[in-house]
Amino acid sequence: MINEVGQGVFSNAFSIESAKEGDLLFCFKGDSILVHGSEDSPTLPLYGELTPLCHHIFYMDGRGCYISEEMIAAPEGYYYTNAPALARNHSDRKTAFAVITAHQLSKWENSRAFCGRCGAKTKRSNIERAMVCPKCGLIEYPKICPAIITAVSHDGKLLMARNRHGTRFSLIAGFVEIGETFEETVKREVMEEVGLKVKNVRYFKNQPWGFSDTQMIGFTAELDGDEIPFTLQESEIAEAAWFSPEDVPLPASDISIASELIWDFLTRHGIERKNNT
């Protein structure tokens, strides 16, 4: 998974220290990020090479990571590239995870520039990772939305569905609603999307998914009752199917918890895991 960078390598410890030479710089222009080097595995600029006004966001591998507060034109040798695409494709997991997490924070800071309650300009807190309204005192923390993803099995087969806007089959997933436990979300989402009841909902693992400001919480579950025809949520789901292990569409990469859940199902059914999927 994209967040698996090694024990203690990523640290979200809060700091108000200024950047020093050699710290990593994240300069965003909307969804684009400033880099240099090859387009396949671009390199992030270091503080010192560039010296914009910036603030600390986290540490990666013991090195301070800073977001530029200035929108800077790309100097010679540098270029802007799409940040989510870089994070999906970069061969170095630490760079990938740092970029998508910095992008998540950048989007959040920009969307909280003004207080949602009174409209005054907000400030970054000096004591924690938060945006504070100096006028009414409202405190806003980084946007992290919990969502479940579930591998539902029945009779040795795995349930997968294809979104109306996508070409690939994937697992059932959806945001946690108010007043729900994660297990209730699993049951509701499967019922809403394909019209099936599930039982034996069991926690699997979770991951931060900065691409959509989400914390993905993975579960396995089993069909409750006999196999019945799907009732699809037409606004969202184009088709659903039960896949035998040998027919399961393999994940495109190994960065997401979806890949972990699919391979958990497959390895439990005797199929050996392939690298990087």
Looking at beta carbons only, is 138 or 238 nearer to Zn ion? 138
Q: Which of 78, 117, 137, 102 is nearest to 208 (CA)?
A: 102
Looking at beta carbons only, is 136 or 144 nearer to Zn ion? 136
Q: Which of 175, 173, 112 is nearest to 147 (CA)?
A: 175
- CA separation for the pair 150, 172 (Å, rounded): 6
- Residue partners of 171: CB distance under 8 A and separation at least 6: 149, 150, 151, 152, 159, 160, 161, 258, 261, 262
**The pair of three-digit structure tokens given for residue 196, joined into one six-digit string:** 């099936």
Looking at beta carbons only, is 121 or 199 nearer to Zn ion? 121
The footprint of Zn ion (CB under 5 A) covers: 115, 117-118, 120, 133, 135-136, 138
Q: Report in angstroms how near the CB of residue 114 gets to Zn ion at its nearest.
A: 8
Looking at beta carbons only, is 125 or 231 nearer to Zn ion? 125
Looking at beta carbons only, is 135 or 202 nearer to Zn ion? 135
Q: Report in angstroms how near the CB of residue 139 gets to Zn ion at its nearest.
A: 10
Q: Report in angstroms how near the CB of residue 124 gets to Zn ion at its nearest.
A: 15
Looking at beta carbons only, is 115 or 196 nearer to Zn ion? 115
Burial label for 127, CB within 10 Å (0-12, 13-18, 19+), is exposed
Q: Give SS3 for 191.
A: helix
Looking at beta carbons only, is 16 or 136 nearer to Zn ion? 136
Q: Report in angstroms how near the CB of residue 131 gets to Zn ion at its nearest.
A: 10
Residue carrying the six token digits 């393999």: 250
Which of 263-271's residues contact partners 24+ apart within 8 Å by CB, and which partners?
Answer: 264/151, 264/204, 264/220, 265/151, 265/153, 265/158, 265/220, 269/156, 269/245, 270/245, 271/245, 271/246
- CA separation for the pair 12, 216 (Å, rounded): 18
Q: Which of 90, 70, 92, 93 is nearest to 19 (CA)?
A: 70
Q: Report in angstroms how near the CB of residue 16 gets to Zn ion at its nearest.
A: 22
Q: Report in angstroms how near the CB of residue 110 gets to Zn ion at its nearest.
A: 17
Q: Report in angstroms how near the CB of residue 123 gets to Zn ion at its nearest.
A: 11
Residue carrying the six token digits 């439990």: 268
Q: Give SS3 for 156.
A: coil
Q: Report in angstroms how near the CB of residue 121 gets to Zn ion at its nearest.
A: 9
Looking at beta carbons only, is 133 or 176 nearer to Zn ion? 133
